[in-house]
Amino acid sequence: MITGGRMGRRLAIVTGLLVAVVTGCAPAAPQWREEARMALDKARREGADTMLPSEFHSAEDALLQGEALLHQEDVERADEFFRLALMKGEVLETDLATEKQRLSEEARLKAEEEQREQARLKALQEEVQRRQAEEKERLALIQAEKERRKKERERPLPLPNYHTVKHGETLPLIAALPDVYNDSGLWPLLYRANRDQIRDPKRIWPGQVLRIPRNLSREDIAEARRYGQEKPLR
């Protein structure tokens, strides 16, 4: 009969042997799996899956093939694919940095080009505004000159201060002229201003140069009308 102590020792030995057998038969863990997964996770966080989709999917395929081989317990071949995925991830990281730098430079150049275009458009707009202002000023000057000439044309000519007697004219006819008094009844004004050469208001001769009084007062005009009515020329 086997004692309890011996049975315990035998059980411990068998258990140890089983553990050794199980441990010896278990496949070794892949060396590059975690590093490859970390590299691809980092690449994904930095946008490699959208910026460099072809390169990212190539590295991801290598990782997935490694996972498939590991599931088949082909650790050695799986680790080769994990190593390949890691290498592609490292290349992807370099390419991603280059691509970001390229895009950054492209954005910088685009911004500079937009600034130059904005400056060009601003200069063009200022030039158009300057020309419009010059044209507006030119048209204003032309209009002002037209207005000046129009006023000159409309400005009445200065009234003459002398009149040369023509054949058939009389003092009333001369007084009735528009550029004299436009009123025949004011002939006494001419008579009084030219008494040095007119003795009889009924008799004047062609060629005589008569003075035409200007700046007359109301009293002068009223007195001339009264005199003409009292002594009309017939």
Q: What is the pLDDT of residues 76-98, one digit of tens each?
A: 999 999 999 999 999 999 999 99
For the chain, the maximum distance between any two Cα atoms, rounded to a whole number of angstroms, is: 194
Would you say residue 27 lies in a domain? no
Would you say residue 131 lies in a domain? no
Q: How far apart are CA 89 and CA 52, in angstroms?
A: 12
Would you say residue 215 lies in a domain? yes
Whole-prediction pTM value?
0.45
Would you say residue 146 lies in a domain? no
Question: How many structural domains are present in the chain?
Answer: 1
pLDDT tens per residue across span 201-220: 999 999 999 999 998 899 99
pLDDT at 4: 47
Would you say residue 15 lies in a domain? no
Would you say residue 175 lies in a domain? yes
Q: How far apart are CA 91 and CA 85, in angstroms?
A: 10
Would you say residue 200 lies in a domain? yes
Pseudo-torsion of CA 82, 87, 93, 95, nearest 10°?
-130
Does 9 have pLDDT greater than 70? no
Would you say residue 224 lies in a domain? yes
Q: Look up the domain containing 200 and give its range.
A: 162-230
